[in-house]
Each structure stands twice: as structure tokens, then as C-alpha cells.
Amino acid sequence: MKIKSFSSPVNLSKQNFISFLTYINMIPPSHPRYESLMLREKIAEGVEKGIVHITGLIAHGRGETFDYLLGEKTHLFADMAAKAAASWIMNAEHPVISINGNSAVLAGKEIIELAEKTGAVMEVNLFHRSEKRVEKIIKFLEEMGGKNILGMEGDARIKGLEHERAICSREGIYKGDVILVPLEDGDRCEALKKMGKRVIAIDLNPLSRTARKADITIVDNIVRAIPNIKRHCEDVKEEIKEWDNEKNLQDALNFICNRLRNLSL
């Protein structure tokens, strides 16, 4: 819950208000790392509700580290990638947004808005698949206004992958030509590419296998990347055909290296 302003019926001082929030286990907006801590809270709550897989905590922690190194903001390389992604999604025949536990709790509402704007199909597709969690995530998204969300069908498979994580929807990922996969694993990204799909990844780690295997990688936090794609959708004229993902990833890596080199305590 985000509290921007507070007027206390019993005239609590600011200090007492902060103690009060701490008491009821909330983070005061004045905390210097408020935004980041709120995202952490969302993930933790997601685990409690059975939406985020327990290993999603680890994935989030890794993401936090890279976001910290990136200064927790969108850089030109990420915005350019978001622009290219918007042009691909808008020009796709059957664009699909793949949603997992982490992405649902961090950016569910923004994903729904992006799908509405672009006509993309939303599919809950999980690495650690269980029907119960797919159902919970779909319900969670429906409560935010999402409609026609695929995921329960499980009537097709991503070729070349073993186990449950290959299961997908025929009318969703299986049929899709451009697939947006936030927080994906490298294996599945590679398998989707082998099926002839164009893959757009959102991954804060420019070194991950997903980042290197995808056609377009947006090295940014999903909470900033999805609204950026949506914003760029508004001014798409034609598809950006020339996209050098390796160069873009190198730009992200160079940024991190230079920042580390120039940081002082």
C-alpha cells in the first residue's frame, strides 16, 4: 500500500507516525529506499498468496542487484530497446505476452494495459508450473481487469523442452509470432526461437542467457520497461528492422562497468 500523505485523527508526530507504520509492518514513504522496498514487499506478499514461486525471491534479489548497479532508472539503451519492442509488437500478427508469478505481482496492471493497447494475447506461462498457481495468477489478473487470459488450457508444448515448463496454450505462445517474455529462463527463450518466434525479453541482467538469446532485450526493471513499451506504442510508425541486440547489451554492460569504475564511497 502506498501512502503519499497522512493526516492523523489523533495528531501523531512524524516520528510517531513512522513508528506506527513500523509497528503495523508498513514501510514509510520517507524511507530512502521506499520504491525498492515496496517491490520487495509485493514479491513477498506474492509468495504468501501462492502467486510467486519461492525461487522468485531469489530471482528478484538478483534483479535488485543489477537494478542497483544501473542506478534504478531507464537508460537510453533500454528505452531504445523498448521502442524497438513496441514496433515489433504493433506490427506482429499474433503478439503474446507471457506472464509468470513475478511479473504478475510487479507489473500485472501495466501488462493488462499493454495488452489492451496492442491487442496482444496474455498467457500465464510458468517455469515451475502447477495448475493451481496458473489459476491463482489468472484470477489475480482478472481482479485487476484482465480479460481472456490464457494459461489453463495446457493444450500445446514448447518444442525441445522437457517437463512441465514446456506446457503452453495453442492459441497463445504456441501460435504467437512475437512473444514478450519478462524474467524468462534462457532455455525456454532459446526453444521459442527455435520454433521460429521473435522473442523480446525484459531482463535486468545483461549477461543472462535469456538476455543473450533474445532478439530484443530490454535491460531494465519490468516496472519501468512495460510502461515504456506502452508509451512507445503510441508513436510507432513502422517496424524497426535493424536491431543489433549484442551491441545494445554491450552498451548496458559498459554502462555498469563505467559506473562501478567511477563510483566512490
Query: Cβ–Cβ contacts within 10 Å for residue 29, how many?
Result: 15
183 lines the binding site for ligand PTJ (CB under 6 A): yes
60 lines the binding site for ligand PTJ (CB under 6 A): yes
Distance of alpha carbon 241 from alpha carbon 88, whole angstroms = 9
For ligand PTJ, the closer CB: 30 or 142: 142
Distance of alpha carbon 213 from alpha carbon 245, whole angstroms = 9
101 lines the binding site for ligand PTJ (CB under 6 A): yes
Contact status, residue 199 vs residue 215, Cβ threshold 8 Å: yes
189 lines the binding site for ligand PTJ (CB under 6 A): no
For ligand PTJ, the closer CB: 62 or 117: 62
CA-closest candidate to residue 119, choices 167, 178, 78: 178
205 lines the binding site for ligand PTJ (CB under 6 A): yes
59 lines the binding site for ligand PTJ (CB under 6 A): yes
83 lines the binding site for ligand PTJ (CB under 6 A): no
63 lines the binding site for ligand PTJ (CB under 6 A): yes
List C-alpha distances in Å: 248 to 66, 217, 231, 264: 16, 8, 20, 26
Select the residue interacting with ligand PTJ from 87, 102, 169, 217 (CB under 6 A). Answer: 102
Select the residue interacting with ligand PTJ from 66, 77, 140, 255 (CB under 6 A). Answer: 66
Q: Which amino acid, one-letter code, is at 183?
A: L
DSSP string of 128-147, one letter each residue: S--HHHHHHHHHHHHHTT--
The residue sitting closest to ligand PTJ, measured at its beta carbon, is 63
Tell me which residues touch ligand PTJ (CB under 6 A): 53, 55-56, 59-60, 62-63, 66, 100-102, 106, 126-128, 183, 185, 202-205, 208, 221-222
